[in-house]
Amino acid sequence: MAVDLTSTNASKIASALLLERRRAGSPAMGMVMTFVVVTDEGDHYDALKAARAVSREHPARILGVIRRSARGAASLDAEIKVGDGPSGEQVLLRMSGELARHAESVVLPLLLPDSPVVVWWPGRAPEDPADDPLGRLALRRITDVAAAKRGRAGALLTQAKNYSPGNTDLSWTRLTPWRALLAAALDQYPAKVKGGEVAAERSNPSADLLVAWLTNRLEVPIERAVSKGPGVTHVALTTGGGDIEICRPDGVLAEFTIPNAPNRPVALKRKETAELLAEELRRLDTDDIYQDTVRQVCVLAGHKPPDTPPSLSLKGGDVQRPQRSRGTRKATGPRKRPSAKKSNKS
């Protein structure tokens, strides 16, 4: 069922939601979060479609926010959908006039009680999401610097400099399969890494994050090479016994190489937005590893890292100075093996 309300306000929307939910036989029960999608007329269809797909795994009240021209009289229109699709409710809010600058006044009363709020900017994100009026309502703020039409490298650095706990970026989420495979490579071939290289198309925030992550974790310089893409095409880690390599020229199937073992193909597909969001929503606490990584991004770019509470990762947020000589390891306390996983022993 869909209901359109014009020139309305939050309390009318709330009553309409209640009425619709009852009329549809209360399908939208057990919602676990409010998912705010800040979008525009051009993108809202795809963005909300992805959000609905995610709400199958995380039943949510989805609030789509479209801010129109700030000129003219303040006005609020709402499109309500309940019981259409797997679970949850969806409200698309269109705001114009002065109201476009006060979107939070509409969103706040529509948040589900006592449950997490997540804000996602599928397109252009505010420079400091945590200080954005909508961002301030949220526990988790999801940006996507790769969505910027130009100046992606700058966009990543902006997000990195303004990082606050609770921020994440889909460029980071896209890296998970790569990171998992690299970690698995070192599980299989445990060796001291002396250096490495990440090759990707010229403007690719994920590649920059991967360089920062590897630099931060391995404490060695990682080169950034430029390739034709798509996305990240090649990662190499140099060890005394040879290179660990993952090569994905076509964006689909990768070749996995570790020393002393045959080469093997691995499917490494780029994920859909809905899959990325689902991973993002699975945990809503601070992503300490992302925090360490964006601090590293700042340092690699010659900027001061943002002030953040100490991360809980084993590295405790210390960043690697790019000019540091090879092989000198800062005392970071004893590293502990990740708990309770003994993968190669019977």
Partner 1 sequence: MTLGTSYDNPLRDPQDRRLPQIAGPCGMVIFGVTGDLSRKKLMPAVYDLANRGLLPPGFSLVGFARRDWAHQDFAQIVHDAVKEYSRTDFREEVWRQLSRGFRFVPGDFSDDIAFSQLHDTIEELDRERGTAGNHAFYLSIPPKFFPDVIGQLKEHGLADNGTGAWRRVVVEKPFGHDLKSAQQLNAIVSDVFAPESVFRIDHYLGKETVQNILALRFANQLFEPIWNANYVDHVQITMAEDIGIGGRAGYYDGIGAARDVIQNHLLQLLALVAMEEPTSFEAQSLRTEKQKVLRSVRRPDRLDLHTARGQYVGGWAGGEKVKGFLEEEDIPRSSTTETFAAVKLMIDTRRWAGVPFYLRHGKRLGRRVTEVAVVFKRAPHLPFSATATEELGQNALVIRVQPDEGITVRFGSKVPGTAMEIRDVTMDFAYGGAFVESSPEAYERLILDVLLGEPPLFPQHEEVELSWQILDPVLEFWTELGKPDPYPAGTWGPTSADEMLARDGRAWRRP
Binding site for partner 1 (CB under 8 A): 29-30, 56-59, 86-88, 173, 176-177, 179-184, 186-193, 214, 217-219, 239-241, 252-253, 256, 261-262, 264-269, 278-279, 283, 287-289, 311-315, 335-346
Which is nearer to partner 1, 154 or 322 (by Cβ)?
A: 322
State both tokens at 266. Answer: 């691995």
In the bound state with partner 1, the residue whose beta carbon lies nearer, of 152 and 315, is 315
- The CB-of-241 to partner 1 minimum distance in angstroms stands at 6
Query: From the CB of 330, what's the least distance to partner 1, in Å?
Result: 13
**Residue placing its CB nearer to partner 1 in the complex, 31 or 148:** 31
Q: How far is the CB of 279 from partner 1 (least distance, A)?
A: 7
Q: Distance of CA 16 to CAs 12, 63, 97, Å?
A: 6, 14, 23
In terms of CB distance, is 73 or 267 closer to partner 1? 267
Count CB neighbours of 286 within 10 A.
Answer: 19
Nearer to partner 1, 2 or 261 (CB): 261
Nearer to partner 1, 5 or 184 (CB): 184
Residue 21 CA to residue 1 CA, distance in Å, equals 9
Between residues 240 and 302, which has the closer beta carbon with respect to partner 1?
240
> Min. distance of Cβ 275 from partner 1 in angstroms?
9
In the bound state with partner 1, the residue whose beta carbon lies nearer, of 30 and 302, is 30
- Return the number of the residue (150 or 336) whose C-beta is nearest partner 1: 336
- In whole angstroms, how large is the CA radius of gyration of the chain? 22
CB of 346 to partner 1, least distance (A): 3
Instruction: For residue 111, give every residue at least 6 positions away whose Cβ sits within 8 Å of its Cβ, in sequence order, or none.
Output: 34, 61, 117, 137
Which are the contacts of 139, defined by CB distance < 8 A and separation ≥ 6?
Answer: 116, 117, 118, 166, 284
- Minimum Å gap between C-beta 29 and partner 1 is 7
